[in-house]
Amino acid sequence: MARSAVPAAAPDVAALRDRARIIRRHIVEMLHEAASGHPGGSLSAVEVVTALYFGGILRHDPENPEWPERDRFVLSKGHGVPVQYAALAMAGYFPVDELRTLRKIDSRLQGHPVLGTAPGIEASTGSLGQGLSIGLGMALAARLDDMDSRVFVLLGDGECQEGQVWEAAMAAGHHRPANLIAIVDYNKFQLDGAIEDIIGLEPLAAKWESMGWKTREIDGHDMQQVVDALEWSTQAGEPVCIIAHTVKGKGVSFMEGDNAYHGVAPSNEELPRALSELERGDPEEENARALGSADVLDRAEASIDASAESNGKGGGR
């Protein structure tokens, strides 16, 4: 019997924040090891991906990745795949140690997602613009097969400058799958500049709404807002687009909002700086520590190790 790897109870937002910080550490470590890749757009999507995999949203089974009734997550902005690999490893799809093989020859973890390589990857992406069309097909197929699988598609804001995104949006507005959720990682930059300077997207919510989507705009780094929006999206009964306002490079101060880190890995000097910032955690957690709470990072790591042990897929960081 397939199971969901996520808790059925209301998600523990503090624990999700801890997970998010560990995912950020994995991202900078694996990109440093690969000496290439895309930190900015991986880090901006961390809260969304963390909430999906660990916040009780995505119904999935690391022990049975092909479970037919699973929900699907399509990372349309495929260059951000380090965030998904980190989440998949922490969920038990493959050993956390394998993250070190990112972008290496013969690794299952290529620089963009490849269907049929790493378990948990649902679509080959990287050529921007295609993921919403793929997700729409999956959502309509589930409806035809009378399955209640939901499909979550994560798009970049630069990616939304691709025409195919709007073909898929218009087609979804026509066919109205209630199980299709688009999330835009609105970090305000694409590869070589600011969205507003290249092709502005505003009014973005109105564009989706005009094509028949329900929308909600959130702070994509506020874990509670992310969880609430994702929970709402599964109950909306219509195609939903969540516009997540984010910061490119979020969590590493010298990367935040600096688009030089769109596609440049942290150097030997930058890695320890990044990791020490991610070790410190955010002010809210520091407050909790100051008030005498248990060390939240230790707690999160212990629970990750325990879940990795219990599913026999290795552990550690």
Ligand X SMILES: Cc1ncc(C[n+]2csc(CCOP(=O)(O)OP(=O)(O)O)c2C)c(N)n1
What does the binding site for ligand X look like in residue numbers (CB under 6 A)? 38, 40-41, 44, 77, 79-80, 126-129, 156-159, 185, 187, 189-191, 248, 262
Of positions 156, 177, 239, 251, contacts Mg ion by CB under 5 A = 156
Name which of residues 175 to 204 contact Mg ion (CB under 5 A): 187, 189
In degrees, to the nearest 5, what angle opens at C-alpha 125 toward C-alphas 122 and 126?
Answer: 155
Nearer to Mg ion, 111 or 158 (CB): 158
Closest residue to ligand X in the complex (CB) = 156
Q: How far is the CB of 165 from ligand X (least distance, A)?
A: 10
Q: How far is the CB of 195 from ligand X (least distance, A)?
A: 7
Question: Which of 220, 222, 266 lies closest to 247, judged by CA?
Answer: 220
Nearer to Mg ion, 75 or 138 (CB): 75
Edge-to-edge strands of the sheet including 151-156? 72-75, 151-156, 180-186, 240-245, 214-219
Which range touches Mg ion (CB under 5 A), out of 48-56, 138-146, 152-160, 225-233?
152-160
Q: How far is the CB of 259 from ligand X (least distance, A)?
A: 8
Choose the one of Mg ion, ligand X, none that binds residue 191, judging by a C-beta under 5 to 8 angstroms depending on kind: ligand X
Residue 190 class from Cβ within 10 Å (0-12 exposed, 13-18 middle, 19+ buried)?
A: buried
Amino acid at 77: K
The helix or strand, by DSSP H or E, that contains position 155, with its residue range, turns out to be strand 151-156
Q: How far is the CB of 106 from ligand X (least distance, A)?
A: 23
Question: Which of 84, 75, 39 lies closest to 249, judged by CA?
Answer: 39
Nearer to ligand X, 76 or 179 (CB): 76
Which range touches Mg ion (CB under 5 A), out of 3-11, 158-166, 172-180, 234-242?
158-166
Residue 2 is encoded by which pair of tokens?
A: 């397939």
Nearer to ligand X, 94 or 261 (CB): 261
Of positions 158, 249, 266, 281, contacts Mg ion by CB under 5 A = 158
Are 220 and 184 within 8 A, CB to CB?
A: no
DSSP code of 240? E
Classified as helix, coil or strand, 106 is coil
Of positions 18, 98, 157, 162, contacts Mg ion by CB under 5 A = 157
Q: How far is the CB of 201 from ligand X (least distance, A)?
A: 10
Nearer to Mg ion, 83 or 296 (CB): 83
Which DSSP string corresponds to 168-215? Answer: HHHHHHHH--TTEEEEEEE-SB-SSSBHHHHS---SHHHHHHHTT-EE
Choose the one of Mg ion, ligand X, none that binds residue 92, judging by a C-beta under 5 to 8 angstroms depending on kind: none
Choose the one of ligand X, Mg ion, none that binds residue 24, judging by a C-beta under 5 to 8 angstroms depending on kind: none
Are 117 and 135 within 8 A, CB to CB?
A: no
Which distant-in-sequence residues (6+ apart) come within 8 Å of 291 by Cβ? none
Catalog residues that contact Mg ion under the rule CB under 5 A. 156-158, 187, 189
